[in-house]
Amino acid sequence: MSNFEAFFDYIQQISGKLLSDDDKHLLMEHFKPKKLRKRQYFLQEGDVCKYIGFIVKGSARTFTVDEKGHEHTLKLSLENWWLADFESFYLLTPSRFNIEALENLEVLQSTNAQIEEFLKRIPAFSAMSNLISQNYTIANQKRVQAAMSYTAEERYEELISSYPQFIQRFPQNIIASYLGLSRETLSRIRKNFSK
Amino acid sequence: MSNFEAFFDYIQQISGKLLSDDDKHLLMEHFKPKKLRKRQYFLQEGDVCKYIGFIVKGSARTFTVDEKGHEHTLKLSLENWWLADFESFYLLTPSRFNIEALENLEVLQSTNAQIEEFLKRIPAFSAMSNLISQNYTIANQKRVQAAMSYTAEERYEELISSYPQFIQRFPQNIIASYLGLSRETLSRIRKNFSK
DNA sequence: AGAGTAATGTGATTTAAGTCACAACTATAA
DNA sequence: TTATAGTTGTGACTTAAATCACATTACTCT
């Protein structure tokens, strides 16, 4: 099935290791395809994040809603990214986040217990996991730095250079909430930019 | 040596696995004790972060200086934490950060190549590493959320509840730069608080 | 012990960004 | 195809926090 081919390629490419036929069967057996339509929820605030999803097609955002009703987008996720609230997923605690499909979404999903199995039994999976952890750590560090040290304009420029796809693919109100800005401020920054 | 005892305890406690005598010898052979006096640098901007340190005693901060000369503290680190710019350490790229001892500092340090060896050869070390990655991911997620969604007051309250030690141990200008505030604003927030 | 440096407090002023309000435009769905 | 909801732009006003300036207090180093 083509979904899985892309997934296998991803694991092999990141890890630099090959998956055996047995490995592939194990993964196919325990990763379940799941489809969400635009605006459906992968995870709702208060629920435990039981599944981690590998995005085959589509996009999603992870966000909170504060007391004033403002949404704060923590993460935007595209094809070949992992989708979960890792805090809730690892610790099995209720999530403070919502994860919503921004476009029709196809994921391959599995549980924490299964992931532990894959890590033990599939060397390529384990190597991929370690590298992904590293990348997340690096990306998070950058994001913290940007949030703390940069002005609104600088954060927008940084986003354009790091994730140009986001600008194309997501509406401005989502981008604004990802950058920690009001949509009006983002609109004004864009106006200055185009000059 | 007592330095290593605390280190071994840490690994065993986090991983839930025991270190064999061989494991311990391997670690002692390749983790080198290093002392820094207050205000000395563990890492300077522009250098590659060749070493990761396990803090046995003391504290440090990871920070950048922007064009206006303002310092932004990304991370504060205490005993039993790991000290490195992970981006530079993993990728061997020049670091954008400085890491400075805030108090006299004792670390056990090792290189990326050695860490790879420990991960392969010491199950307790590998298990510890995976759990630490998880914890970092969770902590970073919280920090991003706080930076993006919370007001100055809320960030200060959150710090008090998450890391009360920080308030005792670090001067206010450092805390302010960690929270992404001017020192004056932090001073005023504290004034309100004590009422 | 005393000079020099670093850390903190506080008022006055400025500024970046948020908020509010409304208009214009663009999807989407019945 | 028209009604409805969602998205974007823009002006007027407000506000949280930064900046500037100076006083006070606490370290630390020889």
Question: Which residues have C-beta within 8 Å of that of residue B114, sequence separation ≥ 6?
Answer: B30, B31
In chain A, residues with a C-beta closer than 8 Å to the C-beta of B154 are: none
Distance separating alpha carbons of residues A91 and A112, to the nearest angstrom = 10
DSSP line for A51-75: EEEEEEE--EEEEEE-TTS-EEEEE
| pLDDT for residue B195 is more than 90 | no
pLDDT band at A1 (very low <50, low <70, confident <90, very high): low
> How confident is the prediction for chain B on average, in pLDDT?
94
Check A87 against B141: CB less than 8 A apart.
Answer: yes
pLDDT digit string (tens) for A23-53? 999 999 999 999 999 999 999 999 999 999 9
Which range, of A86-90, A159-163, B138-142, averages the lowest pLDDT? B138-142
Distance separating alpha carbons of residues B53 and B106, to the nearest angstrom = 9
Check A147 against B149: CB less than 8 A apart.
Answer: no
List the single residue in A with minimal CA-CA distance to B132: A133
Q: What is the pLDDT of residue A188?
A: 96
Could you check: is the Cβ of residue A19 within 7 Å of any atom of nucleic acid strand C? no
Could you check: is the Cβ of residue A184 within 7 Å of any atom of nucleic acid strand C? yes
Alpha-carbon distances of B171 from A92, B64, B165, B175, rounded to whole Å: 36, 18, 12, 6
Which is nearest to A59 in space by CA: A109, A104, A7?
A: A104
Q: What is the pLDDT of residue B1?
A: 56
Q: Give me the mean pLDDT over the B22-51 stretch.
A: 96
pLDDT digit string (tens) for B8-36? 999 999 999 999 999 999 999 999 999 99
CA of A177 to C1' of C18 (A): 13
Q: Does B120 touch chain A (CB under 8 A)?
A: no
pLDDT digit string (tens) for B75-116? 999 999 999 999 999 999 999 999 999 999 999 999 999 999
Q: What is the pLDDT of residue B192?
A: 85
Residue in B72, B90, B149 closest to A72 by CB: B149
Give the phi and the psi of residue B171 in degrees, each rounded to 5.
-65, 160
Chain A: nearest CA to B147, how far in angstroms? 6
The two three-digit tokens of residue B81, written as one number: 């934490």
Q: Does B141 touch chain A (CB under 8 A)?
A: yes
Could you check: is the Cβ of residue B173 within 7 Å of any atom of nucleic acid strand C? yes
In chain A, residues with a C-beta closer than 8 Å to the C-beta of B134 are: 86, 90
Q: What is the pLDDT of residue B62?
A: 96
| pLDDT for residue B193 is more than 80 | no
The DSSP bridge pattern shows strands B98-101 and A105-111 to be unpaired
Q: Are B53 and B62 in contact (CB under 8 A)?
A: no
The DSSP bridge pattern shows strands A51-57 and A105-111 to be antiparallel
